[in-house]
């Protein structure tokens, strides 16, 4: 669905390239996450992929079309959700959706049906200015899928949301995947990326440093041990055991047999740890 080869981009007047030779491909029904700190090039990447920035070098193909040469038709097949929801705040939710819906020539969803799906049916007649941030983000998502796009681009879809609203949005994104849609998202939130993405790419200083499934990355970069916390004569004790041959490891078997175990975790890395190790930069 998306093929990027040797992509480079420089903003006019900038001395340094913002994107430096990126290569990746995203398949149908895949949720792909771009992770990285502010200023790493995520937003530039997204702007290129949604056809806003055209003066790039290399090749960027979305739905088989080289973006440099695409016209308005591309937007009939892709959906975009910006980080900050942008609506006519004086208009109602329904008025907004009806307006944006009428910009498309392809068949679109019934706004009330989509609102129902994201739990906003009761808010249909409210002005957008009356909505909470979480409701606006859900509405943002609604608008992005109104025209049943094949590819969905979401910029920081869970940014600033409480856990309940974040979960609603994550579930909706997973539903998109189940319907065979391709989703590309950018995020600072490692947990969201871990939960949602089939693959992630760490982008730092305009380059992709790592690209793989969160599971693979976590296993590859983690320690192959089990960390056990238990009580020995009332005192807390922490011990690590190698995963290899754990079933025959006498000390491990002795611990779990003799003492009350409080926690026991395999020591794969978290995405945040991987990021810090790879880049030496924080995810703020």
Q: Which residues bind other proteins (CB under 8 A)?
A: 50-52, 72-73, 75-76, 78, 80, 82, 84, 86-91, 95, 99-100, 102-105
| C-beta closer to other proteins: residue 114 or 271 | 114
Q: How far is the CB of 103 from other proteins (least distance, A)?
A: 5
User: Residue 127, exposed/middle/buried by CB under 10 A (0-12, 13-18, 19+)?
Assistant: middle
Q: How far is the CB of 200 from other proteins (least distance, A)?
A: 24
DSSP the chain: -EEEEEEEE--TT-SS-SEEEEEEEE-TT-EEEEE--TTSSHHHHHHHHTTS----EEEEEETTEEGGG--GGGGGTEEEE-SS----TTSBHHHHHHHHHTT-SS----HHHHHHHTT-GGGTTSBGGGS-HHHHHHHHHHHHHTT--SEEEEESTTTT--HHHHHHHHHHHHHHHHTT-EEEEEES-HHHHHHH-SEEEEEETTEEEEEE-HHHHHHHHS-SEEEEEEEETTEEEEEEEESTTGGG-HHHHHHHHHS-EEEEEE-PPPHHHHHHHHHS----
| C-beta closer to other proteins: residue 50 or 123 | 50
Q: How far is the CB of 102 from other proteins (least distance, A)?
A: 4
| C-beta closer to other proteins: residue 92 or 187 | 92
| C-beta closer to other proteins: residue 47 or 174 | 47
Q: How far is the CB of 42 from other proteins (least distance, A)?
A: 16
Q: How far is the CB of 76 from other proteins (least distance, A)?
A: 6
Contact residues for 71 (Cβ-Cβ < 8 A; gap 6+): none
| C-beta closer to other proteins: residue 50 or 120 | 50
| C-beta closer to other proteins: residue 142 or 255 | 142
Q: How far is the CB of 61 from other proteins (least distance, A)?
A: 18
Q: How far is the CB of 99 from other proteins (least distance, A)?
A: 5
| C-beta closer to other proteins: residue 24 or 104 | 104
């Amino acid at each position: 669905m998306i093929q990027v080869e040797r992509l480079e981009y420089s903003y006019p007047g900038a001395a340094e390239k913002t994107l430096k030779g990126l290569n990746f491909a995203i398949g149908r029904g895949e949720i792909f996450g771009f992770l990285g700190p502010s200023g790493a090039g995520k937003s530039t990447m997204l702007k290129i992929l949604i056809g806003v920035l055209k003066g790039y070098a290399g090749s960027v193909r979305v739905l088989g079309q080289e973006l440099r040469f695409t016209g308005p038709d591309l937007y009939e097949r892709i959906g975009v959700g910006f980080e900050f929801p942008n609506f006519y705040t004086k208009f109602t939710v329904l008025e907004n959706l009806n307006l944006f819906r009428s910009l498309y020539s392809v068949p679109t969803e019934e706004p009330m049906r989509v609102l129902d799906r994201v739990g906003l049916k009761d808010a249909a007649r409210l002005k957008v200015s009356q909505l909470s941030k979480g409701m606006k983000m859900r509405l943002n998502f609604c608008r992005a899928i109104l025209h049943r796009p094949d590819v969905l681009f979401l910029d920081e879809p869970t940014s600033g949301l409480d856990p309940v609203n974040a979960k609603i949005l994550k579930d909706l994104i997973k539903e998109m995947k189940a319907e065979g849609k391709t989703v590309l998202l950018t995020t600072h939130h490692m947990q969201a990326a871990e939960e949602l993405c089939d693959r992630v790419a760490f982008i730092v200083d305009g380059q992709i440093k790592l690209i793989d499934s969160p599971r693979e990355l976590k296993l590859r970069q983690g320690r192959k041990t089990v960390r056990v916390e238990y009580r020995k004569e009332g005192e807390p004790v922490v011990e690590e055991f190698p995963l290899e041959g754990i079933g025959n490891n006498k000390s491990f078997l002795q611990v779990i047999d003799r003492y009350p175990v409080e926690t026991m975790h395999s020591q794969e890395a978290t995405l945040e740890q991987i990021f810090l190790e790879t880049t030496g930069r924080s995810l703020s």
